[in-house]
Amino acid sequence: MSDHDKNRETEANKEELDFVSSPSLQKAVKKAKWKQTIKFFVIGSLSTIIILYALFCGGQYLLQKRIGDHDKVLFSHINGANVFLNGGRYVYGFMNLSVVKHSTVKKHIGDREIIWNRKEIEIPIFGQKGVVNSGRFTEVISFSERFNRRVHYNNFNGEREVDFYYPQLEYDYLPNELEIATSLDENTLAEVALSFDQPYTLKELEDKMGSEHVNWIWVLTTTEKEFEKLSEPDQHYRPYTTLDGPSADGFQVHGDLTSGAKRFLEIVQRLSEEGSYQSAAKEIANGINQESFPNSDDIRVTGAVVSGTPEELEGFQDLEIVRASTIGATTDLY
């Protein structure tokens, strides 16, 4: 290669080198890199936000399915004498991966409410539910010399549970604890479970006792087949022929009995269609009417829970349809 050609190649290389290292090119390259970095940052941020939002929504959906306490709240309105479950309060964890459910069970006595149980349960999206704090709502059953019967006590607050006596069964002893309730201090509120001498229709019961100071109605849902088992002369089984309050089916009274009964049947029908209480709701409906889904006229009432001051409870003492009565929880009027 001639010296002239070498000189031309050297000059061309210098020009190329000068082009790559020129300030304008370096500025353009740097600007392009910043744009690419910002683009990646925006895409990454949006993707992260979308993923976190999807996790949030998905976590909330899965937790709601796991909580599933709406049916439980509804069931508490048709089962359990004179108690009701609050909707609850929920404290969610990070990213909705868990929730602590605070539940409270209450009882109406006169114009007051008392707490009957309290529980806190941690519910994760996956895995077992765990009890964080529980009111230990267990029953202590013992024979009381004072009341001459087996008495159920609520271990959360030490109060007595009410008990019912079936009109279809014979008992060696029928308590009359309404008399005790009417002799309490005048500033005491008490609840008393009344067991009737026979099943009554809603209209018959309203005519006989009205609805004033009546908190709750015990609906007959026991079938004839179940009564046959209860009537068997089995000495081991006989002590359990009374019905404890937490096991009784019925409804709260807010106004007249008919409206409460309609609400009761609406809940039974809703729960019998689907959910975790479907089987229990179907048994209740079948106990009222074995041929078809019951209506208000099919309901038979075998007891009630009344509450108030001793003076207010005196109005039930002369009620001839009362076969037995058991005193339950008490609280101060003031």
Do 178 and 323 fall within a single domain?
A: yes
Do 185 and 304 fall within a single domain?
A: yes
pLDDT at 17 over 60: no
The domain boundary residue, chosen from 40, 65, 90: 65
- The winner for highest mean pLDDT among 22-36, 102-116, 160-174 is 160-174
Chain CA centroid to CA 150, Å: 28
Structural domains counted in the chain: 2
Inside any domain, residue 304: yes
Q: For residue 331, give the amino acid letter.
A: T
Strands of 188-200's sheet in order across: 250-252, 214-219, 301-308, 188-200, 322-332
The domain boundary residue, chosen from 65, 80, 102: 65
Q: Which of 276, 326, 311, 322 is nearest to 110 (CA)?
A: 311
Inside any domain, residue 188: yes
What pLDDT was estimated at residue 305?
Answer: 98
Do 32 and 143 fall within a single domain?
A: no
The pLDDT tens digits for 295-324 are 999 999 999 999 999 999 999 999 999 999
Higher pLDDT, residue 69 or 75: 75
Do 41 and 188 fall within a single domain?
A: no
Inside any domain, residue 287: yes
Tell me which residue range forms the domain holding 215. 139-332
What pLDDT was estimated at residue 322?
Answer: 97
The domain boundary residue, chosen from 65, 88, 108: 65
Inside any domain, residue 211: yes
Lowest mean pLDDT among 131-140, 163-172, 225-234, 320-329: 131-140
Q: For residue 95, give the amino acid letter.
A: M
